[in-house]
Amino acid sequence: MRRIRKVKILATIGPASSSEDMLKKLFEAGADVFRINMSHTDHELMHTLVGRIRAVEKAVGRPIGILADLQGPKLRVGKFASGKEALTLGQTFTLDDSPEPGNSARVYLPHPEILRSVEAGHRLLIDDGKLELKAVKSDGNAIVCTVVAGTSISDKKGVSLPDTDLPVGALTEKDRRDLDAVLATGVDWVALSFVQRPEDLAEARKIARGRALIMAKIEKPQAVARLAEIIELSDALMVARGDLGVEMPLEAVPGIQKQITRAARRAGKPVVIATQMLESMITAPVPTRAEVSDVSIAVFEGADAVMLSAESAAGAYPVEAVAMMNRIASKVETDPTYAGIINAQRSEPEATGADAISLAAREIAETLKLSAIISYTASGTTGLRAARERPQV
């Protein structure tokens, strides 16, 4: 089956959508790529899911992409004697290297790399930013902080460090095991979480050896600061707005999304917009008007793909969420203003043969009103260059 829609839809699969029958329904509703979240998937289940997706692919007679999303480093505090502690604004609270259960004054932080790296003035965001601490001093064994916002902390909550460049790679030991496993199954894409520097991508590429394409998830300020270098070493980018919105001011995220989208397009690299796109459809059969606008804006900006997370993985309306995203994207692409907006964002081609040919192919196809541009390519580069031109065919 052929789809006229150009922007792709990524659907995360989970408890609500992992059967072969449901996968087929999601595909028929508009899903082009299925995302397997390795944070919640063991190797046995991953093999099963890949097999089911390939079975659907064979049944429908159309390629379906598979993206394996690696967990990345998860930084968490230890446990508390009471499970949860109330804090007050302005009080002192310490994170240290003692494995003893925590209390209202301190908690164990089982990450020596954080204890060694945080400096006075750095922020520590706990539980997706619900608690904000500011470091007063650190001696490598303990970080003494002041409570700036929030009033409670509980067991095993995540820690985000927007001001600290940690000396850790994006690949953990679990990620390396998962990467070997997903590559053996023949997935098409591997997404790398919490990328901070180009070296993170270089390590993943070395392991992958061309067996899958590497997608860099942009969700840390350090990655935004080194965006050009990261783009150069990646095959695609994902704007992971969830963690990005924790580590950076929420009001800055839309501008960063636009910046990343345009930078990726200039480089001819696909870009995926992700997180909370149709969040209300986890529990409701229709999205909010703001969510519809959010998806539409991503398509108008020239995103290559938009992604569903919990909406399709664990929501009550997974098929409806995919179908809604399909309708929104298709409507935008047929809007009379769409072509003009996309053309206005087009960057100048680089002085290479592939770029010159891609530009000429687009102009010829649009002038003669041709139906398609066919790229003969060995590595895929020519196809990506042609796609960067966003031909209206």
Q: Which residues are part of the catalytic machinery?
A: 35, 76, 217, 275
Q: Indicate the pairing of strand 305-308 with strand 8-13.
A: parallel
**Orientation angle between helical segments 43-60 and 20-29, nearest 10 degrees:** 50
Q: Residues 191, 218: contact at Cβ < 8 Å?
A: no
Q: 216 — phi, psi (to 5°)? A: -95, 125
Three-state SS for the chain is CCCCCCCEEEEEECCCCCCHHHHHHHHHHCCCEEEEECCCCCHHHHHHHHHHHHHHHHHHCCCCEEEEECCCCCCECCCECCCEEECCCCCEEEEECCCCCECCCEEECCCHHHHHHCCCCCEEEECCCCEEEEEEEECCCEEEEEEEECCEEECCCEEECCCCCCCCCCCCHHHHHHHHHHHHHCCCEEEECCCCCHHHHHHHHHHHCCCCEEEEEECCHHHHHCHHHHHHHCCEEEEEHHHHHHHCCHHHHHHHHHHHHHHHHHHCCCEEEECCCCHHHHCCCCCCHHHHHHHHHHHHCCCCEEEECHHHHCCCCHHHHHHHHHHHHHHHHCCCCHHHHHHHCCCCCCCCHHHHHHHHHHHHHHHCCCCCCCCCCCCCHHHHHHHHCCCCC
Q: How long is the chain?
A: 393
Q: 67 — phi, psi (to 5°)? A: -115, 120
Q: What is the Cα–Cα distance from 364 to 213, expressed in whole angstroms?
A: 30
How far separated are the first and last CA of the chain, in Å rounded?
17
Q: Residues 306, 338: contact at Cβ < 8 Å?
A: no
